[in-house]
């Protein structure tokens, strides 16, 4: 196992947002974290990353307690983050967006990323603000890989993407999965989650309401209807 959340409780001021969430991600596994708007999915990622440290419970990564560790130290241990807003610098080129990470903390080179994703290499000199949503997402994933992570946390990579572009992103993530990279994938899009995930956890109002194999969710439409309000 690479990551274990043990009964974490996370607050925003007085609001008790995560009310005892436990989950595990195995080595090489893709775990999808699903739930409606406001269920607490992003808060789970922020709890792991030290951006909003849990007040109780533990975050165990590779057998070490990293609960409340500062975000840059969490990153240095090998957990990468692809935030929902993607965080691409609009006035820097794609190449400069990667280079800036390499200078700060990266182990790989910009050319490694371009060799791996030729589509990105074609965009190397394009400014962040001229990249499409899908291109920005691709760049954000490439940037996450610059630190040679063992675990990647992705927050709704499908968000706002047209179906064809989404398929490109899903293929990219499938490739990373084949290489054995573990991922915690937050999604609202059940189909995207099922296309990638081995297992699924559903959150509702800050608590886990379902956990099972992706195939189980795919086979039983009532689960998605009950907890997500959508069919599969
Ligand atoms: N910094 C914050 N301060 C106060 N409340 C917050 C903060 N961030 C999030 N919240 C609230 O906590 C709840 C859970 O937010 P969270 O972002 O984890 O949900 P989510 O499941 O990721 O939802 P979405 O699908 O909309 O991204 C929401 O009601 C949100 O308004
Ligand atoms: Mg969110």
Task: Decide: helix, strand or coil at residue 216.
Answer: helix
Element (H, E) at 207: strand 207-213
Residue 147: is its pLDDT beyond 90? no
Residue 151: is its pLDDT beyond 80? yes
Distance 36 CA to ligand 2 centre (A): 9
Structure tokens at 56: 């109780």
Residue 150: is its pLDDT beyond 80? yes
What number is the average pLDDT over the span 1-22?
A: 98
- Ligand 1 pocket test, pick from 17, 82, 156, 204 with the greatest ligand atom count within 8 Å of Cβ, gives 17
pLDDT tier for residue 117 given thresholds of 50, 70 and 90: confident
Cβ contact 119:149 at 8 Å = no
Closest protein CA for atom 11 of ligand 1? 38
Report the b/e string of 6-24 with b at 16+ CB within 10 A. Answer: bebbbbeeeeebbeebebb
Cβ-Cβ contacts under 8 Å for 213 (sequence gap 6 or more): 198, 199, 200
CATH tag, 28-53+68-228: 3.40.50.300
- Ligand 1 pocket test, pick from 21, 34, 36, 40 with the greatest ligand atom count within 8 Å of Cβ, gives 40
| pTM recorded for the entire structure | 0.95
Residue-range domain boundaries for the chain: 28-53+68-228
């Amino acid at each position: 196992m690479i990551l274990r959340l043990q009964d974490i409780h996370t607050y925003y001021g007085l609001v008790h947002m995560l009310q005892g969430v436990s989950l595990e991600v195995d080595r090489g596994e893709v775990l999808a974290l699903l739930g409606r708007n406001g269920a607490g999915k992003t808060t789970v990622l922020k709890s792991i990353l030290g951006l909003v440290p849990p007040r109780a419970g533990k975050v165990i990564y590779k057998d070490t307690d990293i609960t409340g560790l500062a975000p840059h130290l969490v990153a240095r241990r090998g957990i990468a983050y692809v935030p929902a807003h993607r965080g691409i610098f609009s006035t820097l080129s794609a190449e400069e967006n990667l280079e800036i990470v390499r200078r700060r903390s990266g182990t790989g080179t910009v050319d490694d990323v371009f060799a791996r994703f030729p589509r990105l290499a074609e965009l190397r000199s394009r400014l962040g603000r001229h990249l499409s949503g899908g291109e920005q997402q691709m760049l954000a994933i490439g940037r996450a890989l610059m630190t040679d992570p063992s675990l990647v946390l992705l927050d709704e990579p499908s968000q706002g993407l047209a179906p064809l572009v989404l398929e490109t992103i899903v293929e990219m993530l499938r490739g990373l999965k084949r290489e054995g990279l573990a991922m915690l994938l937050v999604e609202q899009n059940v189909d995207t989650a099922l296309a990638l995930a081995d297992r699924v956890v559903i959150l509702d109002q800050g608590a886990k309401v379902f956990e099972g194999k992706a195939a189980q969710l795919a086979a039983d439409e009532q689960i998605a209807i009950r907890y997500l309000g959508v069919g599969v």
